[in-house]
Amino acid sequence: MSLEGYTDPRANRPGLYTIANPQSAEDEVGDFLWGVVRLTHPDNVLETGAYFGDTTARLVDAVKRNGHGLVTTVEKDPDRAKHVAERLPDARVLTGSFDWVDLRPPEGR
């Protein structure tokens, strides 16, 4: 869906951007981060806020293309974390508060 009429009015031509789910990061941001991962070849990528895993999926794809590296994502909501963990078995999905002490894999993982 388009972000028209849905976002920060200061944003540059918001109607040009698209999202997979309401409140998701823009698909174009995911594409940009995909390029950043391809360019910088990181061993570890950390994302806070997996949500539905749309950006996470792009990060995982880039890491696979690189041939090395691990994506870790942190999602506060345990149900969403479970969904993302199922959707992206190659990612390390953690749930809990964003306080590192509390992080753990979602139930059943």
Looking only at the bridges linking them, the beta strands covering 92-95 and 70-75 are parallel
Rounded CA-CA distance 11/42 in Å is: 29
Site for other proteins in 11-30 (CB under 8 A): 12-13, 16-17, 26-29
Rounded CA-CA distance 71/91 in Å is: 5
The residue count for binding other proteins (CB under 8 A) is 21
Q: Answer yes or no whether residue 52 interacts with other proteins by CB under 8 A.
A: no
Q: Answer yes or no whether residue 1 interacts with other proteins by CB under 8 A.
A: no
For binding to other proteins (CB under 8 A), which residues are involved? Answer: 12-13, 16-17, 26-29, 31-36, 38-41, 66-68
